[in-house]
Chain A
C-alpha cells in the first residue's frame, strides 16, 4: 500500500465524504450533543472527577457470598473489600473476593450474544442482537408450550443462590417445567442428605465464638469452605485468643491441618469409622451427656427410655473399638481415645465434617455418624457446638404458575442408582440425556455451570454437549468461553456479579440471620444482561405473565415485602447500607426446645411417633388421620406441628425435606432400613478399596484457597498465585515406584490415564495420590489454560499475557475419575477412585 500523501489523502477524503453523505454510517453514533469550546487562550483541561464512591454489595466468588464493599471511581470499579458492618464477615474478604475485579474487565470476556456458525465445536461465531437471540430462543420454546410439553425445556445451573435462584424457579414455574438441574451432588450432596435424614434442614455451622474444643474431619476450613470467611476467622480467634485446640483428621497436610494443634493422618474413607469409635469410647467410659437423648431416636421404638437408648447406642457401636478403628484407619487407638475424651470432656465442642468425609460410598452415613457424635455429647444446636446455620428468609414476588407443570425424570440418576437423591444426581444429568430412557430435553440452557469440566468422567459430559442429536438446541449463559460454552448454539453474555442485583441469604454461624443485597457497582459492560431481564424478554414473546420486568424490580419488591427489612427502610435502606439484621434477634441455639401450642383446630397427637400434627392441613378426615397414623398419611409431614418430648410439645426437628420422619433425630432411620441400608450409622467399607491390588493407590482431590471449582481460572491475579496441580505422593510410596520429586508420572484408572508431575512429600499418607481439581483447563482464557497458539480459538486478546511468567497449567484429574454415585444420596464419589501410578 502506498504511503498517504496530500494528493491521495484529498482524493480518499473527497470520496469518503460523498459516501458519508449518502447516509452510510454506523447504525448508531456513539457520541451525541454539540461541541462547546471556550474561546481561545484557555487550556483545555478535562475534568477528572476522581471522587471515589463506596457501594455495598455481595461477593459471588464462592457460595459463602460475603457482604462486601466496592469502590468505584469515574465509573470504574477499582477495589473490592470486606463490608465493615456485616455481622457474618466482620469486614473481611478473602483473596478470591478481592480478585473479583478480574471478572469484569478481562479482554476475553463475552460481551455480546454469540450465534454458532458451522458445526458445534468448530469455533465459528457471529455476533447477533439481543432481539435476535431472544426471538431465536422463543422460537424453540413456544412449540413446547403449544404441545403441552414444557418439561422438554431444561435449565441446568451450577452456582445459583439467593434471588438468582428464586427468580429462575419463578420463571420455570411460570413456564411449567420442572426439569431443572443443579450441582449439589458433585459438591456436598451426601452431607445434606445425611443431615436431612436427622434434623430436616442442612447447612450445619459451628459456634466457634463460644467453643472450647474442635475436631475436624476432611475439611480444609482455612482455605475453602461453604461459609469460609465467617467461620474461619472465628475459629482462628478461638485458637489464638482462648487456646482452643483443633485436631484435623485428613489424608494430607492441608493448610488447615498445618495450622491445627495436631494433624492426625487418616486413611481414605475412614472418617465415619473413627467417629463411631469415638462414640464407642465416650459411651463405654461414661463420658456421654444425656441432655439430647430425649430428641434422639436410636431404635425402632419412638418411646424408649434414656437407659434403653444408652444401651442401644452402646450395642450399635460395640464393634467399633479404637483397636478395630486403628487397624482400618491407621489412626492409633490411643489417639482416638485422647481426642474422644477431650471432645466429650470439653464444656462445648465443635465437630467439623466436609468433603473428605462425605464424598464417598455411603458418605451420607458418615455424616450421620458425625451428627451422632455431636448429639451424644450435647454438642448439637447449642452454644459452642455444631449448630444450624441461620440465613435470611426473604419474601419475593411470585408470577402466576403455568397450568401444565411437568418435569423429565433425568436429574435423579439412573433408576435405582440412589435411594434418596434429595439433591439430585447431577453428574448423571448428561449421561441420562445420552441414555434417553426417560426422555431428552429439546432446549437445554446452562447457566454458571461447566459440566464438560467439573463432571467426573468429564469427557463423556463434553461429548453429550457436542451432540446435536442428543441436545437439539443448547444455550449457555456465561462471561467466558469455557469447556462447556464452546459447544453452545447460542452464548448469552451474562453480567458478572459485580453488575447485578440480588437479595442474599447465606447463613450466619452466630445464629442470627443477616439480610444483604448485591447491587451493580458499575453499569454492565457491553451488552451483558442479567437473567431477570432475559426471563422477561422471553416471557413477553411467549405470552407468559411475570411479576417483574427486571431483577432490580424483583429485588426492590423483595426488600419492600420482607418483614424487618421493610420497616428498616426497604430497598432504599438496603441500597445504602447493604446489610441488615434484627438487633433484637437472639441466636437460635436451642430452637428445638421451644414449646409449641397444640390447641389448634385439627391438631392431634400420633401415639406411635409422638408427633403432633394437623390432619386438616394434611387434607384428611380425623378418622382417617387416626386410623392411618402420621406415618401412613401422605403429606402428613407438611402438617407437622410439634413433638411430644417427655410430655411437653416442643418444636424439636421438623421434617422439612423429603424424609418422612417424626420430630426426633432419626438415628434409627426407617427410611434407610426400608431401602436396605443400615438403619443406624455404621461403618461400610468402600467396595473398590477392599479389592485393591499391591500396586493400587487411592486418588483423592481437593481445593485451594485462591480458586473456586472452575469459575476463577481467568482471574489472572488468582491464576498467578496458583496455576498448577502436581500430584501429592508420599516419599515412601514414590520411592517404591522409583519416583522423585518433579518427575513426570502416569496416573491411570479404569477409565483413563493422565500424565502429570509428582510432588513428593511427607505431608500425605502413604498409599494415595492427591490432585487438586481446578487446573488442566482446556479453555477459560489464557491465564487458566495457557493456550498460546494463535491458531487455537482460546488464545487471548489480552496483551498482558506477555507478562504471564508461568508456563505450567496443570492436568485435570476428572478425566480419570469415574461418574459414580453414593447409593444412599447420589453424591459423586470424588474420593473413592483406585489408580496405578508409574514413572512416565
Chain B
C-alpha cells in the first residue's frame, strides 16, 4: 500500500458522523438565537423539557421571562431586547466581523475587508447568499450557519464512508475558525454580556463563548 491508501479498518463511521452532527446542531441553535428576534415557537422549545434541564445543569440562566410569562409576552420582551442590543438605534452590538476585527486606523466599519474575505470563503465552499437575506455577509449568525452547514456535510461524508472528503471538510472548518470566527467571537460575546439587560442574551453569549473555547481546543489538537 502507498501512503495515500491508508487502511480504513477501525474507523467508527457512525461515531464520527454523530460527532460532526452534534457540532452542527449547536451551531444551528446559536445561529438561530443571533439571527433575529426569537419566535414564540423557539421560546417554547427553549423552555421546553428537552433544553431547560440541560440549561439548568449547565447554569445557563434564561431569565424570569422564560418561566413566568406567556410565550407571546416573552417574544415581545425579547424582541425589544434584541432590537436594542443588536439593531439600535443608539448603542448596540454590531454583530459583524469587520466591525470587531478591523479597529486600527479608523477602519472599523460594516462591509470591511473581513466581510469580503468571509464572503469569498463561504462562496468558495460552494454556497451562495440568498437574495432574500438582507443582512451583511459577515453577520455572526451567517458565520455560525456556515459552520452548521460545514459540519452537517462532514457528518454526511462520514456516513457515506468518504474519509477524504470528511477530513478535508474538517480542515476547512479549522481554517474558518482560526482565520475568522475565533478571531472575534470572544470580544463579540463579551460586548453582548456587558450590554444585555435581560439574562437571556447574556447567557446565550456566555454559552457561545464557552462553546467557541471548546471548539478552539479541537483546532489546537489538530495542529
A interface residue numbers (CB < 8 A to B): 1-5, 8-20, 22, 24-40, 44-49, 73-77, 104-112, 114, 117, 123-127, 481, 485-486, 491, 522, 525-527, 716-717, 720, 790, 792-800, 802-803
Q: Check if B141 sits within 8 Å of A26, measured CB to CB.
A: yes
- Chain B residues near A32 (CB, 8 Å)? 127-130
- Chain A residues near B210 (CB, 8 Å)? 1-4
Q: Check if B172 sits within 8 Å of A44, measured CB to CB.
A: yes
Q: Check if B134 sits within 8 Å of A527, measured CB to CB.
A: yes
24 A–B pairs (Cβ distance < 8 Å), ordered by A: A1-B59, A4-B211, A12-B54, A13-B23, A13-B25, A24-B39, A24-B42, A26-B32, A27-B39, A31-B145, A46-B124, A48-B116, A73-B116, A75-B111, A75-B116, A108-B90, A792-B90, A793-B91, A795-B90, A798-B94, A798-B109, A799-B103, A800-B108, A802-B103
20 more A-B residue pairs beyond the given contacts A16-B51, A125-B87, with a C-beta to C-beta distance below 8 A: A2-B58, A11-B57, A13-B26, A14-B25, A19-B45, A27-B39, A28-B130, A31-B127, A36-B126, A46-B120, A46-B124, A107-B110, A127-B87, A793-B89, A795-B91, A797-B94, A798-B109, A800-B107, A800-B108, A803-B105
The contact string, 1 if C-beta is below 8 Å from chain A, for chain B 115-129, is 111011111111111
Chain A residue nearest to B195 in the complex (CB)? A790
The contact string, 1 if C-beta is below 8 Å from chain A, for chain B 182-202, is 000000000000010000000
Q: How far is the CA of A69 from the CA of B24 in the complex (A)?
A: 44
With contacts A11-B57, A13-B22, A30-B129 taken as known, whether A127 is within 8 angstroms of B135 at the C-beta atoms is no
| Interface presence of B66 (CB below 8 A) | no
- Chain A residues near B223 (CB, 8 Å)? none
Per the 8 Å Cβ criterion, residues 65-120 of B in contact with A are 79-80, 82-84, 87-94, 96, 99-100, 103, 105-113, 115-117, 119-120
Q: How far is the CA of A33 from the CA of B120 in the complex (A)?
A: 15
Q: Is the interface of B mostly helix, strand, loop or mixed?
A: helix
* Selected contact of A28 from candidates B22, B24, B83, B132, CB within 8 Å: B132
Q: Check if B130 sits within 8 Å of A8, measured CB to CB.
A: no
- Chain B residues near A17 (CB, 8 Å)? 21-22, 24-25
* Selected contact of A803 from candidates B103, B122, B129, B168, CB within 8 Å: B103
Q: How far is the CA of A819 from the CA of B216 in the complex (A)?
A: 62
With contacts A525-B111, A793-B89 taken as known, whether A35 is within 8 angstroms of B150 at the C-beta atoms is yes
Q: How far is the CA of A47 from the CA of B125 in the complex (A)?
A: 10
* Selected contact of B60 from candidates A1, A25, A26, CB within 8 Å: A1
Q: How far is the CA of A648 from the CA of B99 in the complex (A)?
A: 69
Q: How far is the CA of A737 from the CA of B56 in the complex (A)?
A: 70
Chain B residue nearest to A13 in the complex (CB)? B22
- Chain A residues near B119 (CB, 8 Å)? 74-75
- Please give the distance in Å from B106's CB to the nearest CB on chain A: 6
Q: How far is the CA of A536 from the CA of B61 in the complex (A)?
A: 46
Q: How far is the CA of A795 from the CA of B195 in the complex (A)?
A: 12
Q: How far is the CA of A137 from the CA of B17 in the complex (A)?
A: 51
Q: Is the interface of A mostly helix, strand, loop or mixed?
A: loop
Chain B residue nearest to A102 in the complex (CB)? B109
Q: How far is the CA of A15 from the CA of B52 in the complex (A)?
A: 10
- Please give the distance in Å from A46's CB to the nearest CB on chain B: 4
Q: Check if B124 sits within 8 Å of A47, measured CB to CB.
A: yes
- Chain A residues near B128 (CB, 8 Å)? 31-33
* Selected contact of B22 from candidates A14, A793, A797, CB within 8 Å: A14
* Selected contact of A8 from candidates B57, B84, B169, CB within 8 Å: B57
| Interface presence of B64 (CB below 8 A) | no
Q: How far is the CA of A679 from the CA of B167 in the complex (A)?
A: 90
Kindly list the 4 A-B residue pairs having the minimum CB-CB distance in the complex, ordered from nearest: A36-B126, A13-B22, A481-B89, A793-B90
With contacts A19-B50, A40-B165 taken as known, whether A106 is within 8 angstroms of B59 at the C-beta atoms is no
Q: How far is the CA of A30 from the CA of B138 in the complex (A)?
A: 11
Q: Check if A126 sits within 8 Å of B83, measured CB to CB.
A: yes
With contacts A28-B133, A40-B167 taken as known, whether A716 is within 8 angstroms of B29 at the C-beta atoms is no
Q: Check if A107 sits within 8 Å of B172, measured CB to CB.
A: no
Q: Check if A76 sits within 8 Å of B214, measured CB to CB.
A: no
* Selected contact of A33 from candidates B110, B127, B207, CB within 8 Å: B127
With contacts A2-B59, A39-B164, A794-B90 taken as known, whether A76 is within 8 angstroms of B169 at the C-beta atoms is no
Count of A-B residue pairs with CB < 8 Å: 266
Q: How far is the CA of A347 from the CA of B112 in the complex (A)?
A: 55
- Please give the distance in Å from A674's CB to the nearest CB on chain B: 50
- Please give the distance in Å from B183's CB to the nearest CB on chain A: 14
- Please give the distance in Å from A133's CB to the nearest CB on chain B: 14
- Chain B residues near A4 (CB, 8 Å)? 58, 207, 210-211, 213-214
- Chain B residues near A31 (CB, 8 Å)? 122, 127-130, 133, 142, 145-146, 149
Could you say which of A44, A47, A109, A114 has the most chain B C-beta atoms within 10 Å of its C-beta?
Answer: A44
With contacts A1-B210, A17-B21, A31-B127 taken as known, whether A790 is within 8 angstroms of B165 at the C-beta atoms is no
Q: Check if A19 sits within 8 Å of B29, measured CB to CB.
A: yes
Could you say which of A37, A44, A108, A491 has the most chain B C-beta atoms within 10 Å of its C-beta?
Answer: A37
- Chain B residues near A126 (CB, 8 Å)? 79-80, 83
The contact string, 1 if C-beta is below 8 Å from chain A, for chain B 20-49, is 011111101101100111010110011010
- Please give the distance in Å from B33's CB to the nearest CB on chain A: 10
- Please give the distance in Å from A718's CB to the nearest CB on chain B: 12
Q: Check if B121 sits within 8 Å of A9, measured CB to CB.
A: no
Q: Check if B58 sits within 8 Å of A12, measured CB to CB.
A: yes
- Chain B residues near A794 (CB, 8 Å)? 89-91
- Chain B residues near A109 (CB, 8 Å)? 110
| Interface presence of B160 (CB below 8 A) | no
Q: Check if B126 sits within 8 Å of A797, measured CB to CB.
A: no
- Please give the distance in Å from B81's CB to the nearest CB on chain A: 10
- Please give the distance in Å from B62's CB to the nearest CB on chain A: 11
With contacts A12-B58, A792-B90 taken as known, whether A18 is within 8 angstroms of B26 at the C-beta atoms is no
- Chain B residues near A110 (CB, 8 Å)? 88-89
Chain B residue nearest to A44 in the complex (CB)? B172
- Chain A residues near B41 (CB, 8 Å)? 24
- Chain A residues near B130 (CB, 8 Å)? 28-32
Chain A residue nearest to B125 in the complex (CB)? A35
- Chain B residues near A22 (CB, 8 Å)? 45
Q: How far is the CA of A367 from the CA of B114 in the complex (A)?
A: 54
| Interface presence of B158 (CB below 8 A) | no
- Chain A residues near B112 (CB, 8 Å)? 76, 105
Q: Check if A799 sits within 8 Å of B100, measured CB to CB.
A: yes
- Chain A residues near B207 (CB, 8 Å)? 1, 4
Q: Check if A24 sits within 8 Å of B58, measured CB to CB.
A: no
- Please give the distance in Å from A748's CB to the nearest CB on chain B: 32
Q: How far is the CA of A710 from the CA of B25 in the complex (A)?
A: 48
- Chain A residues near B99 (CB, 8 Å)? 107, 797-799
Q: How far is the CA of A505 from the CA of B211 in the complex (A)?
A: 56
With contacts A33-B127, A797-B91 taken as known, whether A16 is within 8 angstroms of B175 at the C-beta atoms is no
- Please give the distance in Å from A47's CB to the nearest CB on chain B: 6
- Please give the distance in Å from A803's CB to the nearest CB on chain B: 6
Chain A residue nearest to B212 in the complex (CB)? A4
| Interface presence of B171 (CB below 8 A) | yes
Q: Check if B22 sits within 8 Å of A39, measured CB to CB.
A: no
Q: Check if B54 sits within 8 Å of A11, measured CB to CB.
A: yes
* Selected contact of B28 from candidates A10, A20, A44, CB within 8 Å: A20
- Chain B residues near A107 (CB, 8 Å)? 94, 96, 99, 108-110
- Chain B residues near A527 (CB, 8 Å)? 134
- Please give the distance in Å from A27's CB to the nearest CB on chain B: 7
Q: How far is the CA of A110 from the CA of B223 in the complex (A)?
A: 42
- Chain B residues near A75 (CB, 8 Å)? 111, 116, 119
Q: How far is the CA of A105 from the CA of B127 in the complex (A)?
A: 25
Could you say which of A1, A125, A716, A798 has the most chain B C-beta atoms within 10 Å of its C-beta?
Answer: A1
Q: How far is the CA of A332 from the CA of B109 in the complex (A)?
A: 54
Q: Check if A15 sits within 8 Å of B51, measured CB to CB.
A: yes
Q: Check if B109 sits within 8 Å of A105, measured CB to CB.
A: yes
- Please give the distance in Å from B11's CB to the nearest CB on chain A: 15
Q: How far is the CA of A220 from the CA of B51 in the complex (A)?
A: 67
Q: How far is the CA of A525 from the CA of B113 in the complex (A)?
A: 16
- Chain B residues near A481 (CB, 8 Å)? 88-90
Q: How far is the CA of A491 from the CA of B142 in the complex (A)?
A: 26
Q: How far is the CA of A798 from the CA of B106 in the complex (A)?
A: 10
